[in-house]
C-alpha cells in the first residue's frame, strides 16, 4: 500500500491522505519504529533531538530510547570547557566544516531566546595565538568579527607573534546536557542506565535502528583502529576577572597540547594536553604542573587564582568523524546502525550539524523501507 | 633638605592616583592624602570602570589622547601582571551600538584601544534597533579593588592618610607647601566653581556570570558592563540632579532598556543598586594657580571635572598634575612656613 506514495506530484497529496491511514494501520498492527541511541553525551542526546524533531510527526508511533551507563554530569561532554571552536584546519573534511558552521548558527539563534541561559549558551571573545604566521582557520567565516591580532595586542603574549581575535559561542555541557535531557523527556524519550555490550543486544530487544553515539568506547561495540582516546586534563580555577578565552597553537605539539585558558560561566578551564592512546582517566600531577606553569606564563594574573579541581577526560579522536549507515547481518537478521562518533575535541562544536545529518540518514533509511509519510513538499 | 609637604585633597580614583604618582616619583616630597570619603564610599567605587573617554570641547585633542593613552598603558601593565586580580584591572571586549550612524564613526581614541573596528552585519543582527556599531577591546578597572590597592602602594612609599573634610584651602595652605585639588564634585563648594555640576547616574548590579562582553548604547543611556563579581547595568545621565536616593522609575527604565539589548539579562538576579554623582564640567580642569598665605605663594594644582571619565583618565591626568607640581616647585621653591 505504501508504494502509492511514489505517484506523480499532482495526485500526490490526495493520494498520501488516502494511503497514510492504511500504512499507519498496518504499522500499528505490525510495526513500531523503535530507535535506540547508545550514548548520552552531547552527540547521543542531540541526535535524539534531531530525530524527534524531524520524524515524530511523520513516523507514528516513533519510539526513541537512549541507553548509556554514564549520564550528565559525568560524561566527556560535561568536562569540556565548552568553547565552540573547531580545529584550525579541517584537512579536507569539508563536511565537518559545514556541520560546525551549522552548529554555530543554530546555537546563535537561541541567544536572544529566554532559554539561552538554561541552555548554557553565551558569547565570549578571545585570542588564538601562534608562534609564527599561519593560514587562516576553517572557522573564520562562521564566527563573529574574525580579525588578525595587532602587534600591540601580541605584545601581551610574549612568545607568540601571530594570531587572531574573534567572538565565538560558549556551550557548557553541564548545563546543555540537562537541558537536552529535559527537552527529550518532555517529548516522551525514555532513558535507560545500562551499558550496552553489543549492537545485537539492542536489536534482539526490538530496536529497528541503532544510533551509535558511544564516543571513545565505540571500539568495544565494533573495533575501529581509527578511533583512539586523546586524553585531556584540565584544571578548574576561580578567576572571574578573566573575560576572554586564549588558545595557543604550537605546530610541533598539535591541537590542544598547548596551553589554553577558557573562562566559563562559573570557573575558568585551564589546559591542555592531548595524549593520543592514553586511556588513563585519573588526574596526573605531572600534567597538572605542566599545564599550570604554562598557563601562568600565558596569563600572569592566574598566579593569584584559586584552584578548584582537576578533571580528566578522553576525547574520542578519529581521523574524521564516523557518521554513516551500516547494515549488520547476524543470524538471518539484519539491523540498521547509524554511527555518529569520533568527534575528538570538537563534539560540542559540531554536535547539531552531525545530529541533523544522522537524522537525514535515518530519513533515508525510512524512505528506503517505504515507511515515511510523504514529505510535505506541498508545504506551500 | 627638609621634605616638601604636599597635600592631595580627595581620595577617589583621581586623588589616589595623583597621590601615588607624586609619592612614588618625587622622593623629596612627603605626601598626605586628605579626604572626607575613602573607598568604598567614593563616587569611583560605584563606577563600572570601563576605559572609554569622552571628548572635552575646549581641550586640545592631543592632550586628551595623551591622558587616555597614559592611563591605558599604566593599567594595561597591571592587567598583564600577577597583580591584576588584586588591583581589579583586566581586559574587556565588547560593542558600542548606535541607533543612528554617528557623525564621528571613528572617535579620537580609536587607535588607543585594541582592535577598534566597525561591527559586521552579522554582528549587528543581534541589535535590530541599531544601525551601526563599533567593536573593540579596552580595560576595566574596578575601584572597589583598585582604590584599596592604590592606597597600599601609597602607604608603602610613606604616604600619610587623613580622614577629614576640607572646607578651607587657605587654612590647608598654612600647613603645606603644595596642594593638589582632586575633590571632584566637592570643588563646587571648596572653590565656588559653579562650572562643576553633578550628572546623576543610577546602576543595578546583576548576577549574570555568563556575560563576558560589554554592550553600550552610543547614546550613553544604556550600558552593560560585566565585572568580576557582578554585571553593572545602567544608566542615567541626569544633569544638576543631586539626589542620592534610588529612583524606582530609573530602575525600571534601565532594566527594560538593558534587557532589550541583552535578552539573557531577563534571567539575572538583582544583587544591588547604586547611585553616584559624576563630577561633570564642560572641560576638565587641570591647571595650576597660587594661594597666597602669610607671604607665601602656595601652588594649587587643580585636577577635577572628569565627569564620567575618572577612571579612564586617572593616571594620565595624575601624571599631568605631577608635571605641574614639579614645575611649580622648581619655579618657586617653597619658602619656610611660619
Yes or no, beta carbons of A243 and B88 under 8 Å apart: no
Angle at B80 between CA B75 and CA B284, to 5 degrees: 10
CA pseudo-torsion sign A172, A176, A178, A181: negative
**Which residues in chain B are contacts of A244 at CB distance < 8 A?**
91, 93, 212
Average pLDDT over residues A198-226: 95
pLDDT tops 50 at residue A3: no
What pLDDT does A374 receive?
58
What pLDDT does B337 receive?
57
What pLDDT does B11 receive?
98
Q: Per DSSP, what are the bridge partners of residue B92?
A: B138
User: In the structure grid, which three cell numbers stand for residue A104, read together?
Assistant: 554555530
- Of the partner residues B93, B263, B267, the one whose CB lies closest to the CB of residue A244: B93
Contact yes or no for B334/B178 (Cβ under 8 A): yes
Yes or no, beta carbons of A241 and B84 under 8 Å apart: yes
Best of A82, A117, A140 to mutate (most B CBs within 10 Å, chain B): A117
- Between CA B117 and CA A284 the distance in angstroms is 43
Q: What tens digit of pLDDT does each residue of B75-122 get?
A: 999 999 999 999 999 999 999 999 999 999 999 999 999 999 999 999
Percent of chain A exceeding pLDDT 90 equals 82
Q: Is A298 helix (H, G, I), strand (E, B) or coil?
A: helix
Yes or no, beta carbons of A125 and B82 under 8 Å apart: no
**Which residues in chain B are contacts of A240 at CB distance < 8 A?**
209, 228-229
Q: Is B260 helix (H, G, I), strand (E, B) or coil?
A: helix
Average pLDDT over residues A291-303: 96
Q: How many CB pairs under 8 A join A and B?
A: 95
Q: Which ipTM did the prediction report? A: 0.94
Alpha-carbon radius of gyration of chain B = 20
Q: What tens digit of pLDDT does each residue of A123-174 get?
A: 999 999 999 999 999 999 999 999 999 999 999 999 999 999 999 999 999 9
Q: What tens digit of pLDDT does each residue of A38-88 get?
A: 999 999 999 999 999 999 999 889 999 999 999 999 999 999 999 999 999
| B134 → chain A, closest CA residue | A145
- Of the partner residues B85, B115, B267, the one whose CB lies closest to the CB of residue A147: B115
Pure H helices in chain B:
13-25, 43-46, 61-79, 84-87, 121-124, 143-156, 169-175, 187-190, 248-261, 310-331
Q: What tens digit of pLDDT does each residue of B220-250 get?
A: 999 999 999 999 999 999 999 999 999 999 9
Average pLDDT over residues A349-370: 96
- Between CA B296 and CA B289 the distance in angstroms is 13
**Which residues in chain A are contacts of B82 at CB distance < 8 A?**
300-301, 303-304
pTM: 0.92
pLDDT level of residue A29 (50, 70, 90 thresholds):
very low
- Among A1-15, A217-231, A346-360, B199-213, the least confident range: A1-15
Angle at A214 between CA A211 and CA A217, to 5 degrees: 145
pLDDT tops 80 at residue B149: yes
What pLDDT does A218 receive?
97
Q: B264 — contact with chain A (CB < 8 Å)?
A: yes
Average pLDDT over residues B121-141: 96
| A124 → chain B, closest CA residue | B212
- Between CA B113 and CA B107 the distance in angstroms is 11
Mean pLDDT, chain B, rounded, equals 96
Q: Which residues of A touch B (CB under 8 A)?
A: 111-114, 116-118, 120, 122-125, 144-145, 147, 149-150, 152-153, 156, 165, 167, 170, 239-244, 263, 265-266, 300-301, 303-305
Average pLDDT over residues B206-228: 97
Please give the C-alpha separations between residue A272 and each of A89, A294, A345, B208, in angstroms, as whole numbers.
19, 9, 11, 27
Strands B89-98 and B132-141: antiparallel
What pLDDT does A256 receive?
81
- Between CA A214 and CA A340 the distance in angstroms is 8
pLDDT level of residue A24 (50, 70, 90 thresholds):
very low
Yes or no, beta carbons of B212 and A243 under 8 Å apart: yes
Q: Which of residues 85-124 of B touch A (CB under 8 A)?
A: 85-86, 88, 90-93, 114-115, 117, 119-120, 122-123
pLDDT level of residue A373 (50, 70, 90 thresholds):
low
Average pLDDT over residues A363-371: 92
Q: Within 13 Å and on the Cβ side, how many CA atoms surround B323?
A: 9
Percent of chain B exceeding pLDDT 70 equals 99
Average pLDDT over residues A205-217: 96
What pLDDT does A25 receive?
43
**Which residues in chain B are contacts of A154 at CB distance < 8 A?**
none
Q: Which residue has the cell 562544536?
A: A349
Q: What tens digit of pLDDT does each residue of B23-50 get?
A: 999 999 999 999 999 999 999 999 999 9
**Which residues in chain B are contacts of A292 at CB distance < 8 A?**
none
What pLDDT does A257 receive?
86
pLDDT tops 70 at residue B281: yes
Please give the C-alpha separations between residue B236 and each of A341, B185, B227, B257, in angstroms, as whole numbers.
52, 17, 19, 11
| A240 → chain B, closest CA residue | B228
Q: B79 — contact with chain A (CB < 8 Å)?
A: yes
DSSP result, B194-218? TT-EEEEEEEEEEE-TT--SEEEET
Yes or no, beta carbons of B123 and A167 under 8 Å apart: yes
Q: Which contacts qualify for B288-293: CB closer than 8 Å, 24 or more apart? A: B288/B324, B288/B325, B288/B327, B288/B328, B291/B169, B291/B170, B291/B173, B291/B179, B293/B170, B293/B173, B293/B174
**Å between A303 CA and nearest CA of chain B:** 6
What pLDDT does B106 receive?
97
Closest by CA position to A196, among listed A40, A329, A74: A40
Percent of chain B exceeding pLDDT 90 equals 96
DSSP for residue A83? B
**Å between A23 CA and nearest CA of chain B:** 45
- Between CA B90 and CA B112 the distance in angstroms is 16
- Of the partner residues B91, B229, B267, the one whose CB lies closest to the CB of residue A243: B91
Q: What tens digit of pLDDT does each residue of A80-99 get?
A: 999 999 999 988 899 999 99
pLDDT tops 50 at residue A6: no
Please give the C-alpha separations between residue B10 and each of A162, B292, B313, in angstroms, as whole numbers.
44, 21, 16
**Which residues in chain B are contacts of A145 at CB distance < 8 A?**
117, 119-120, 123, 135
**Å between A296 CA and nearest CA of chain B:** 9
| B94 → chain A, closest CA residue | A125
Contacts of A380 (CB under 8 A, 6+ apart): none
Mean pLDDT, chain A, rounded, equals 90
Amino acid at each position: 500500500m505504501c508504494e502509492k506514495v511514489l505517484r506523480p506530484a499532482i495526485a500526490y497529496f490526495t493520494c498520501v491522505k488516502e494511503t497514510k491511514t492504511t500504512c499507519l494501520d498496518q504499522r500499528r498492527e505490525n510495526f513500531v519504529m523503535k530507535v535506540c541511541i547508545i550514548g548520552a553525551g552531547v552527540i547521543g542526546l542531540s541526535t535524539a533531538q534531531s530525530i524527534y524533531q524531524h520524524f515524530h510527526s511523520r513516523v507514528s508511533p516513533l519510539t526513541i530510547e537512549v541507553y548509556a551507563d554514564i549520564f550528565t554530569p559525568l560524561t566527556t561532554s560535561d568536562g569540556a570547557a565548552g568553547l565552540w571552536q573547531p580545529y584550525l584546519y579541517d584537512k579536507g573534511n569539508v563536511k565537518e566544516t559545514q556541520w560546525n558552521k551549522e552548529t554555530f548558527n543554530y546555537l546563535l539563534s537561541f541567544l536572544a531566546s529566554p532559554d539561552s541561559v538554561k541552555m548554557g549558551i553565551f558569547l565570549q571573545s578571545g585570542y588564538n595565538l601562534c608562534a609564527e604566521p599561519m593560514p587562516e582557520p576553517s572557522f573564520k567565516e562562521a564566527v563573529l568579527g574574525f580579525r588578525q591580532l595587532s602587534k600591540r595586542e601580541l605584545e601581551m603574549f610574549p612568545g607568540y607573534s601571530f594570531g587572531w581575535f574573534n567572538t565565538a559561542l560558549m556551550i557548557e555541557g553541564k548545563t546543555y546536557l540537562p537541558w537536552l535531557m529535559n527537552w527529550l523527556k518532555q517529548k516522551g524519550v525514555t532513558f535507560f542506565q545500562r551499558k550496552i555490550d553489543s549492537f545485537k543486544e539492542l536489536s534482539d530487544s526490538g530496536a529497528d535502528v541503532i544510533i551509535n553515539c558511544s564516543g571513545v568506547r565505540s571500539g568495544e561495540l565494533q573495533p575501529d583502529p581509527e578511533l583512539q582516546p586523546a586524553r585531556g586534563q584540565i584544571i578548574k580555577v576561580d578567576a572571574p576577572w578573566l573575560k576572554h578565552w586564549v588558545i595557543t597553537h604550537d605546530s610541533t605539539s598539535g591541537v590542544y597540547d598547548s596551553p589554553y585558558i577558557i573562562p566559563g560561566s562559573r570557573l575558568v578551564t585551564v589546559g591542555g594536553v592531548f595524549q593520543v592512546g592514553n586511556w588513563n582517566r585519573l588526574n596526573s600531577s605531572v600534567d597538572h604542573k605542566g599545564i599550570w606553569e604554562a598557563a601562568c606564563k600565558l596569563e600572569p594574573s592566574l598566579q593569584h587564582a584559586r584552584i578548584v579541581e582537576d578533571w580528566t577526560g578522553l576525547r574520542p579522536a578519529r581521523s574524521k568523524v564516523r557518521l554513516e549507515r551500516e547494515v549488520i547481518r547476524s543470524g538471518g537478521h539484519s539491523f540498521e546502525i547509524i554511527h555518529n562518533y569520533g568527534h575528538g575535541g570538537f563534539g560540542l562544536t559540531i554536535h547539531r550539524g552531525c545530529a541533523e545529518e544522522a537524522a537525514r540518514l535515518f530519513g533515508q533509511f525510512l524512505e528506503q523501507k517505504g515507511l515515511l509519510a510523504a514529505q510535505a513538499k506541498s508545504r506551500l | 633638605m627638609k621634605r616638601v609637604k604636599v597635600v592631595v585633597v580627595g581620595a577617589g580614583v583621581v586623588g589616589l592616583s595623583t597621590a601615588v604618582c607624586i609619592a612614588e616619583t618625587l622622593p623629596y616630597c612627603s605626601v598626605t592624602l586628605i579626604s572626607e570619603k575613602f573607598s568604598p564610599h567614593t563616587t569611583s567605587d560605584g563606577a563600572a570602570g570601563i576605559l572609554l573617554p569622552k571628548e572635552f570641547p575646549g581641550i586640545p585633542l592631543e592632550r586628551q589622547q595623551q591622558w587616555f593613552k597614559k592611563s591605558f598603558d599604566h593599567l594595561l601593565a597591571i592587567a598583564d601582571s600577577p597583580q591584576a586580580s588584586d588591583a581589579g584591572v583586566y581586559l574587556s571586549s565588547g560593542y558600542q551600538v548606535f541607533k543612528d550612524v554617528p557623525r564621528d564613526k571613528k572617535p579620537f581614541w580609536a587607535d588607543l584601544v585594541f582592535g577598534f573596528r566597525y561591527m559586521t552585519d552579522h554582528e549587528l543582527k543581534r541589535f535590530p534597533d541599531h544601525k551601526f556599531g563599533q567593536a573593540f577591546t579596552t580595560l576595566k578597572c574596578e575601584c572597589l579593588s583598585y582604590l584599596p590597592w592604590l592606597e597600599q602602594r601609597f602607604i608603602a612609599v610613606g604616604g600619610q592618610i587623613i580622614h577629614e573634610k576640607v572646607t578651607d584651602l587657605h587654612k590647608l595652605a598654612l600647613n603645606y607647601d603644595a596642594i593638589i585639588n582632586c575633590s571632584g564634585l566637592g570643588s563646587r563648594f571648596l572653590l565656588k566653581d559653579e562650572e562643576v555640576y553633578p550628572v546623576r547616574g543610577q546602576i543595578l548590579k546583576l548576577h549574570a556570570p555568563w556575560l563576558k562582553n560589554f554592550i553600550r548604547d552610543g547614546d550613553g543611556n544604556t550600558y552593560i558592563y560585566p565585572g568580576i563579581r557582578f554585571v553593572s547595568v545602567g544608566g542615567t545621565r541626569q544633569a544638576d540632579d543631586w539626589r542620592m536616593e534610588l529612583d524606582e522609575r530609573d530602575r525600571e527604565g534601565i532594566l527594560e532598556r538593558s534587557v532589550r539589548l541583552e535578552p539573557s539579562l531577563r534571567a539575572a538576579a538583582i544583587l544591588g543598586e547604586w547611585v553616584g554623582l559624576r563630577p561633570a564640567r564642560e572641560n576638565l580642569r587641570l591647571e595650576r594657580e597660587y594661594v597666597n598665605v602669610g607671604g607665601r605663594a602656595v601652588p594649587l594644582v587643580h585636577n577635577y571635572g572628569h565627569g564620567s571619565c575618572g577612571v579612564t583618565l586617572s593616571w594620565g591626568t595624575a601624571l599631568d598634575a605631577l608635571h605641574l607640581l614639579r614645575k611649580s616647585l622648581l619655579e618657586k621653591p617653597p619658602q619656610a612656613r611660619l
